[in-house]
Structure formats: structure tokens, C-alpha cells
Amino acid sequence: MKGGDSIWQNAYFIAFINPTAVKEGIIMAKIKWMLRASMPILLAAVLLLPVNAQAEKVLYVGGTQSLTGPFAEDSAAVLAAIEDYVAYVNATKNLAPWRKEKFPADVKLEVMWRDDELKPPKALSIYEELKAKGMLVGRISGSPIALALKDRMWEDQMGATSMATGPYYLSPPQSCFTYYPIYTDSIAAIADWFKTSWKEARKPKVAYLTADNAMGRSIEIPEMKAYLQKTGYEFVGTQYVPLVPTSPPTTQLTWLKQKGVDLALGVMINPGSQPTVKEMARLGMGPHLAHKMTFGVPAPGHAAVFAEAMGELGDGYVCAGSFRPMDDLATPGIKFCSDLQDKYRTGKRITHIMYEAGVLEAMVQVEALRLAMQKVPFEKLTPGDVLKHGFYQIKNLPTGDISSTPLTYGKGDIEGVDQVRIDQVQKGKSVKVGIFPLRNIYTKK
């Protein structure tokens, strides 16, 4: 062997060329010596490896999405925003341009998601799969999914952000957190706003015109009807419209017209509210038409999305609890959304307002993980730790005015905001017409 031969070549020679050395016990001593001699070399090699070649600390965000079905457009915008925000945090370790806190430098975020198709059994399967892969936060994509997952998540102490919001989150305590008011608080705000301009001596007549699903029916609680009556309304009744109508809701609207309804309230998504308002216009129903009736919904019936699709035909439509239009670049949070897409999104730009919601969800999930790591070492984190030391500890989280107020959560406090923004479509544009306090309509039991 030459002097330049490696220590491993020497080991080969000892073991296979010189068998008598084995008998004499010399080989073991030489191997031990070579291992000791090689340790500094091996250690130096490990230290010279790039950081990403060493074991990474990875935390997952995201969760179940409804990319198939009536919420597909909303969910796609939310998922894109989560991906962009995670790319931003990984690249900069910043949490937002207006924040000074940093995300831990040695922890990487990854987005994990699946399409639940708005099918509860599939969502349950996805939840168990992602939990088994080590996900410490979850997500809810719609009311059917909320009703299927919320109790399981509470049993697991799994904190989750939610695109759905309803009284079902308030009693008993749940671990799902929203970033706009529950539907009953939003329609209460619309009722308050409508009353401020009511001039007639009689009581205004109110009715529900709402989607015929769990989301739409969630407003049918005694407290909501009692609040409307207490604030001076005459409650007339309820009409249901399919979540995504396949024909105009002529019968339902004609009933409202015959009853002389002044304010119709319900929960709808844009695929339901747009054909409903088109038929209202055809029947001469609207705040500026022959039969003076105003139709108001909470988010996710977003006025900005509605106005872009309907133009002036949608004038008078009201939405509570939603977000500013995506072109409101004077608002720091909206400017941030635009900058994220400039930097991290290739291809077609996303203009759907739920991109803002996705940024909020990502902010909340990441903040919950960050706060939890301040109390519990990364290696020992559990979903319960992230719920207790993360979600529950989020207080006055600034969102750059994406949400109507900074976000605050706690046990039993899941709405995040304490005020309701109200927008109305005027001259084909979404216009802010007021902001009202949460009435906390639902009585927690």
C-alpha cells in the first residue's frame, strides 16, 4: 500500500490479504485506531454540509380544501395564498411587512393539503391522514365539513382555521377559529344597518331567504329571530334556495314580494346569490326598483366578487363580514397580497377576494405554531400544545386591515374580530357602507 491510500483500503488489506493478523488479534486494534483517526475527518465533513443537507425541522400548514364543488373557486384562492405566504416566511423569516417578530430560522414550513370535494366522509379520512403525517394544525373548508370534523378536532385538541363560520362553533367550546363573524352576527349587523335608514312609522318586514344546506340553515336559531323582533322588525317567514340553483328562484321571491318583505336575509355563496339577484331584478325587486326590498348576506357572499360578476345589475346587494376589494392597494394588507403574488406566483394572477382569506388563515396557523414553540420545544410539540400555547394566545394579531379588526382568540372566543364590516354594491362597485359591533347573538350554553 502507498502512503496516499485511504484508511478504508488499509482495512480491506488487513481483513482479506493478511488473515494471520486476525488470529493474532491485531486487526481489531488497527480498526479501532483507524476509526478514531477518521472521526475528525467525518465530523468536518458533516459540518461542511449545506444546512438543507442536514436534518430539517419541518412544520406543516394548510389542511383539507374543497377544490371540487361549489366552493372550488374560493378554496383555490385560499390555497394559493397559503402557498405564497409560506414561501414568503421561509424565504425571509418575516411574518408580515408591518411586524417585527421573526419565525424561527431553523424551522421550515411546508404546505400539506388534500381535496375533500366538500364530502364529509372524505374530509374525515383526509384529516386522519394528515394528522398521522405529523400535522399539528387543521383546516375547515365549509359547513358540512365543519359539522363532520369539529368534534373530532376538539377531542384531539387540534386547532384549525375555518372558512366556514356558524353558531355550531360556539357551544360546546370548539377548536376551530374563523377570521370573520359567524353568520348570525353578520346578518344582525345588516339588520342594524338597515334600520338606520328606515323612515316609515310601521315596522319593517324581514324574512330569511337562505341556502338550503347546513350553512344556510345555521341562522335559524331562536336568538336570531328574537334579536330581529327586539330591534323592531316583523318576522315574516323563511324561503330556501338551493346552494347552487339550477333554475331561477321565482317561487321564493314571489312569496317574499306578496308578503311585502322589506329586508331579506340569508347565507349564500356567489353561485347562489347572483342568480337570485338577477331574478329579483327581473321581478322588479330591489332597493331602487318598484318593490323596495334589500337582500343581505354574510361572507362568503362577498360583495367584491359579486360586483365584478354582476356590475350595475347587482346594485343594492349587501354583504357583511367580508373583505376589501383586491385593488385597494392603499391598505397595507391588500398591498401585501399583491406583493406576494408579484414575488411568488407565476402564471395567471388571482383576483378572487378569498386570496385575502387564505393569507389570514396562513398568518393564524403560522402564528399559532410560532407562539407554541416559545413554550414547548419543537421536538415535543403536540396539537394540544399548539392549541393551548398557540391559538389561544393570539391577541390583537395585526393583519394590515385585511380583517375588520386585529384578530384575537381564546377558549370560546373563535370569531377573531369584534366588528362587522358592511359593503353594498353601488354603481357596479363594492362600497363600504358601515361597520357595526358584534352582537354575539348566539347564547353559549
- Report pLDDT digits (tens) over 68-81: 988 899 999 999 99
Sign of CA dihedral 417, 420, 426, 431: negative
183-197 mean pLDDT: 96
The sheet carrying 234-241 orders its strands as 234-241, 205-211, 263-265, 294-298, 318-320, 419-426, 429-437
Same fold, 57-182+326-418 and 184-322+423-437: yes
Does the reported pTM lie above 0.85? Answer: no
Q: How far is CA 346 from CA 325, 340, 351, 362, 375, in A?
A: 21, 11, 14, 19, 37
31 or 56, which is more confident: 56
pLDDT averaged over the chain? 89
pLDDT at 295: 98
Would you tell me which CATH number, out of the four given (1.10.940.10, 3.40.50.2300, 3.10.180.10, 3.40.50.1820), belongs to the domain 57-182+326-418? 3.40.50.2300
Q: How confident is the model at residue 54 (pLDDT cuts 50, 70, 90)?
A: low
Report pLDDT digits (tens) over 343-370: 999 878 999 999 999 999 999 999 999 9
CATH number at 184-322+423-437 = 3.40.50.2300
Report pLDDT digits (tens) over 111-160: 999 999 999 999 999 999 999 999 999 999 988 999 999 999 999 999 99
pLDDT at 40: 54
DSSP 61-121: EEEEE--SSTTHHHHHHHHHHHHHHHHHHHHH-BS-TT---B--TTEEEEEEEEE-TT-HH
Q: How confident is the model at residue 36 (pLDDT cuts 50, 70, 90)?
A: low
Residue ranges per structural domain of the chain = 7-48, 57-182+326-418, 184-322+423-437
- pLDDT at 195 exceeding the cut of 90: yes
pLDDT at 248: 96
Report pLDDT digits (tens) over 219-242: 999 999 999 999 999 999 999 999
Report pLDDT digits (tens) over 283-306: 999 999 999 999 999 999 999 999
